[in-house]
Structure 1
Amino acid sequence: MSAYVVFTREETTDPDELAQYAEKAPKARPGHDLTPLAFYGDFEVLEGNPMEGAVILRFPDKAAARAWYDSPAYQDAMKHRQKGSKYRVFIIDGLPE
């Protein structure tokens, strides 16, 4: 069953740190089966708190999503995301096919 990692950026606090994240995060993709489904495209908040943007990544399953998230390359990038912004990030299972 597919799994999705969803990022919502709620606030940028340090643009320089966020720029470092944007440079490093793509280096975590090689060796991981992920498909970007949405990547900071045009959006409209219908309910809830405002946000600056969102990303949705599809993985074959939750274990693959965790393997990418926990990888040394992504963990190195993530520290810059956390220093430069406020995000909500979660993994959710997809529906059975």
Structure 2
Amino acid sequence: MLEKPSEKIQELLQKKSSQYTELDFYILLMIKLNAHSKTSPWDLEIVDQEYDSQDTELIMLQKYHQSLEIMDSLEIGQEKDIFSWKFFPVFRKKHPF
């Protein structure tokens, strides 16, 4: 934009289109073009992030089922039911106590 002749910039500044000037639209267009350009300087500096191949949802589900199995193996009676009711809402019964 700084390479444009000042007369051209003044002309764009004087032209009104609704509440904005033609210069406003020109600047927004330049920003849009530069943001999507393959040759923009900041696009070349971005390092690709490595993808974590571990399935975290699967790991969490496995840990959840493991904790349920441990709870079921304990012989503590009503305390187990209360704990399950509080911390495992998926398997919640009406009211354990």
TM-score, normalised relative to structure 2: 0.22
Q: Counting helix residues as a fraction of each chain, which structure ranks higher?
A: 2
Query: Which protein has greater RCO, CA pairs closer than 8 Å, 6+ apart?
Result: 1
TM-score, reference length from structure 1:
0.22
Larger Rg: 2
